[in-house]
Structure 1
Amino acid sequence: MFGKLLPAPMDGGFRMENYWVWCGSVIRDEDGRFHMFASRWPKWLPMHPGWLVASEIVRAVSDTPEGPYEYQEIVLPTRGAEYWDGRSTHNPHIVKHGDTYLLYYMGSTHPLPEPASGEGFGLDDPRCIVARANKRVGLATSNSIFGPWKRAVTPILPTRPGHFDSFLISNPAPCMHDDGSVLLIYKARQYEGNVHGNMTIGAAYAEHWSGPYRVISDKPVFPPGKIHIEDPFLWHTKDGYELIAKDMDGHLTGEKHGGIHALSVDGLSWELSANPRAYSRTLRWEDGIIRTMGNLERPFLLFQDGVPTHLFAAVSDGKQGFSDAKNTWNMVIPLTT
């Protein structure tokens, strides 16, 4: 698997005043600097579900993988309700093939007025319902880490009526192969009225990152009811694939929202590893104090020279997850190699 988790630096990762920050994905550029692509949305909206209607993907930079990362720019801003990703961009995952940077993400839209500061907004708001149903996975490309970024005109993965991914598609987890082909694991829900069905995980494949992407799993790759996970991150090994993800119920690791570790030969048939607990929400920090985070989600491994060196995760300071959180940020945990 990957290395043992070391104490987390107190000032590491990426925070922004007056913003909720989530979904950190990091890559090293040609000059050796580290760029984090992250989601942010204003704190005058609730953390959840504010991201559905106001998230935007930004870029921050650091000279070291630990950070702290300094905000640079908005990468994928809002661009109008008429676009499939016009009202929200979220779940960034940055990779590179050859000379091209590839930014996978979730986008959504809705045709209703945007929320205003001081206005109530929640899960039963029509904007939330429509935006949730419009969640799709997209791809933006650039020949430079600084952009400009060219977005795909349409989502790279549409929903499929009558299947487990008929309602929404999000949380892209791409695994780039040397030949340019991509195995893409994603989160999906089935259509069940204007809410959604149970969370499932699907798999798609493209012979080249430019597409087309086709779903290769007739059924979810993790059996619903047995393996309930979210936020997968996967990588290629000499034996196949490995994956870490959030244990939604705690039945797999003994800790609700802890991390699982799974193995696969082909990316379709997965088994939990002999020691399936990959990480915990309870962490040791560099000041010697052990803290249990309200959330520890969206895990991302930074690989350097083929070796995982750092685990990034979106965290909150709440006692009951993000429902009572005052702050969220992307933290970093160094790994032994």
Structure 2
Amino acid sequence: MIALTRSLYEKLLPAPKNGGFRMEGYWVWCGSVIKGEDGRFHMFASRWPKHLPFHPGWLVASEIVRAVSDTPEGPYEFQEVVFPARGAEYWDGRSSHNPHITKHGDTYVLYYMGSTSPLPDVAPGESLGLSDPRTIVARANKRIGVATAKSVFGPWERKDAPVMPTRPGKFDSFLTSNPAPCIHEDGSVLLIYKARRYEGNVHGKMTIGAARADHYLGPYRVVSEEPVFPPSEFHLEDPFIWKTEQGYELIAKDMDGNICGEKHAGIHAYSANGLDWKLFDHPKAYSRVVRWDDGSTTTMGSFERPFLLFQDGRPTHLFAATADGPGGFQNAENTWNMVIPIAP
């Protein structure tokens, strides 16, 4: 293990209570932020209407939107729908989710998860549960894709096929999602992603895979035939990675709390090659317990999809999708993307 002078968790400052991004009438999730060519901060996020349950509504009706703020803290103002539904015949035609915005040279690169289904939309007032055929089909069709644009305002060019399809008989045979890319200076990519194995009517345990590409448009090749975090020891999702002088660092959601000591808090790990990961001496990266700038403290019902904004080579803000309530998606009344400043 490596000891840090101060852990990421210790550098988290009070969060602006009125910061981040939320929308009336929508569930909001998956905030990913970049500074645009206009000097403002642009958040790419997921949203879906509140006439659907939070979970599994995102599987059938999520769309990626863009919001903007003059400061990283926000509040962010809705600007446009970036990826609306585009038809069941497309691999991402019914749902787009998990946006991760980055840039290489003069090109903005947007990674995301897409899904499709030939089944009818869920009408307002109609129920939708985990055993609904629309949910099952949408979950089985989750794949990772990439879109590009020369401006943060678009237009965006979506690929007509996912860059990370599933592989029969492998740990990612059922779905791929939660893309966490690191684009290098030469345009090559290390992509960490969430996967599940197909196990019939039983959802396999979430695992974390690694793939590489010589260019961000692909093709991508899986570089480890086993998950890079052994499922027997690690139960993780929502990875985020970045390049360092020593290799790579990663934060991710600790599903059980067995690693960092708090369920659904974050872990912090490092790797020389992106395949062999080790925990830092103090592996806790963030907590569901949030300190606000008005002096209050709240234990959030959810605190997920971590994203770090880097400025001048260092992380300055942690973004996270959050929910109120006592915990559990079914108990949330409101969700939004919040932001926590990080001390130098």
Coarse TM-score class (shorter-chain normalised) = over 0.9
Shift of 1:195: 4.3
- Residue 112 of structure 2 corresponds to 105
2:140 paired with 1:140: no
- Which one of 168, 193, 217 corresponds to residue 224 of structure 2? 217
Contact kept in structure 2, 1:107 and 1:136, CA below 8 Å: yes
2:127 paired with 1:120: yes
Shift of 1:225: 2.0
- Residue 274 of structure 1 corresponds to 281
**Within 2, Cα distance between the matches of 1:271 and 1:323?**
34
TM-score normalised by L of structure 1: 0.99
**Within 2, Cα distance between the matches of 1:153 and 1:110?**
15
Contact kept in structure 2, 1:91 and 1:172, CA below 8 Å: yes
Shift of 1:176: 1.1
- Residue 302 of structure 1 corresponds to 309
Contact kept in structure 1, 2:301 and 2:325, CA below 8 Å: yes
Contact kept in structure 1, 2:300 and 2:327, CA below 8 Å: no
- Which one of 9, 26, 32 corresponds to residue 25 of structure 1? 32
**Within 2, Cα distance between the matches of 1:147 and 1:32?**
16
Q: Deviations over 1:193-248 (max 9, x none)?
A: 14421111000000111211111011000000201111000000000000001000
- Residue 71 of structure 2 corresponds to 64
- Residue 17 of structure 2 corresponds to 10
Shift of 1:30: 2.2
- Which one of 294, 299, 317 corresponds to residue 292 of structure 1? 299
- Residue 78 of structure 1 corresponds to 85
Letter paired with 1:198: K
TM-score normalised by L of structure 2: 0.97
Shift of 1:31: 2.7
- Which one of 323, 326, 334 corresponds to residue 330 of structure 2? 323
Shift of 1:321: 2.5
**Within 2, Cα distance between the matches of 1:259 and 1:165?**
23
Contact kept in structure 2, 1:129 and 1:194, CA below 8 Å: no
Of residues 189-198 and 130-139 in structure 1, the stretch that sits farther from structure 2 once superposed is 189-198
- Residue 313 of structure 1 corresponds to 320
**Within 2, Cα distance between the matches of 1:176 and 1:318?**
37
**Root-mean-square deviation (CA), in Å?**
0.9
- Which one of 202, 207, 210 corresponds to residue 200 of structure 1? 207
- Residue 190 of structure 2 corresponds to 183
**Within 1, Cα distance between the matches of 2:19 and 2:184?**
30
- Which one of 306, 329, 340 corresponds to residue 333 of structure 1? 340
Letter paired with 2:153: F
Letter paired with 1:109: T
Shift of 1:305: 1.1
Contact kept in structure 1, 2:37 and 2:152, CA below 8 Å: no
**Within 2, Cα distance between the matches of 1:30 and 1:80?**
31
- Which one of 253, 258, 265 corresponds to residue 258 of structure 1? 265
- Residue 172 of structure 2 corresponds to 165
**Within 2, Cα distance between the matches of 1:5 and 1:178?**
29
Contact kept in structure 1, 2:290 and 2:298, CA below 8 Å: yes
Letter paired with 1:97: H
**Within 1, Cα distance between the matches of 2:14 and 2:329?**
23
Letter paired with 1:130: V
Task: State the SS of the aligned residue for 1:75.
Answer: strand
Letter paired with 2:157: K
Question: Structure 1's 194 and 259: CA in aligned 2 closer, same or farther, altered over 3 A?
Answer: same
Moved over 6 A (4+): none
Contact kept in structure 1, 2:44 and 2:64, CA below 8 Å: yes
Task: State the SS of the aligned residue for 2:330.
Answer: coil
Contact kept in structure 2, 1:26 and 1:36, CA below 8 Å: yes
Q: How many residues align?
A: 337
